[in-house]
Amino acid sequence: MIRLLLVGLLSGCGTVPAADYGRALMSDRTVSSAASNPFSCTTCHPTTENSTALKPGYTIVGAASRSAYWGGFENTLLGAINQCVVQFMRGRALPPTDEKARALYVYLQSLSPTVGPLLPLTVVSDIVDLSSGDPAAGQTFYTDACAGCHGAPHTGQGRLSSLIPIIPDESVAAHGSSAQTGARPITIEKVRHGKFFSAGGTMPLFALERLSDAQLGSILGYLEQFGLPK
């Protein structure tokens, strides 16, 4: 129903073709109504079909034709978009008639020529410590998965917003070094739970399909060089 409504209502957004407007919105933080929002769709979603980027979301290519989203918990494309807009961007949900919603739909539809499968989303519910991995590999994984939002470790240089914590420094300052409640388990929890499971904040979670335990362990090994407790 939502798809039919969007197609029926939209052939363009003003003088800009809908697909072009939708493409621009993918990297525009004003897709959210929240003025303080630092995120765009491409902060978390790769834009190429076979991307190996370590981002929490799947590629946008084929998104409009998937049978469901969020591991099967969301059944419509607009619902999936609004999960991000509301949960992470702290904005108001986009109604089907909204110009931005319609433009995003048309653009994503242009990238979805065939019906795609439901993509897995394995959420780690129980947080346990992980073995620290190779710091050199961890630097690569951190740069790919974390630096886009948090910036460089210890300094935060290049971080997306001053509202996003510098790691591991701010985690250590806030939580200390306890093996049960300190900065290390909190870091693992934030990666695996994001804002969910009462963790708070606006960070998206990394499912196992998007970041493996081995990759996360290497990131921990890298952050130990900057003061993350072992």
From first to last of its 230 residues, what are the pLDDT tens digits of the chain? 344 334 444 445 556 799 999 999 999 999 999 999 999 999 999 999 889 999 999 999 999 999 899 999 999 999 999 999 999 999 999 999 999 999 999 999 999 877 778 899 999 999 999 999 999 999 999 999 999 999 999 999 999 999 999 999 999 999 999 999 999 999 999 999 999 999 999 999 999 999 999 999 999 999 999 999 99
The pLDDT value given to residue 92 = 97
| Distance between start and end Cα atoms, the chain | 52
Query: Got the DSSP string for 63-96?
Result: GGGBS-BGGGTB-SHHHHHHHHHHHTS--PPPPT
What residue ranges of the chain are covered by domains with CATH 1.10.760.10? 2-110, 135-224
Assign domain 2-110 to its CATH superfamily. Cytochrome c-like domain (1.10.760.10)
Distances (CA, A) of 191 to 35, 157, 177: 25, 20, 18
The pLDDT value given to residue 1 = 37
Residue whose tokens read 């910036």: 151
The pLDDT value given to residue 17 = 92
Inter-residue contact 67 to 55 (CB < 8 Å): no
The pLDDT value given to residue 16 = 77
CATH for 135-224 (3.40.50.1820, 1.20.1090.10, 3.40.630.10, 1.10.760.10): 1.10.760.10
Task: Return the C-alpha torsion angle 21, 24, 26, 27, nearest 10.
Answer: -160
Q: What 8-state DSSP symbol labels residue 111?
A: T
Residue whose tokens read 């914590």: 165
Q: Supply 80's token pair.
A: 């999936």
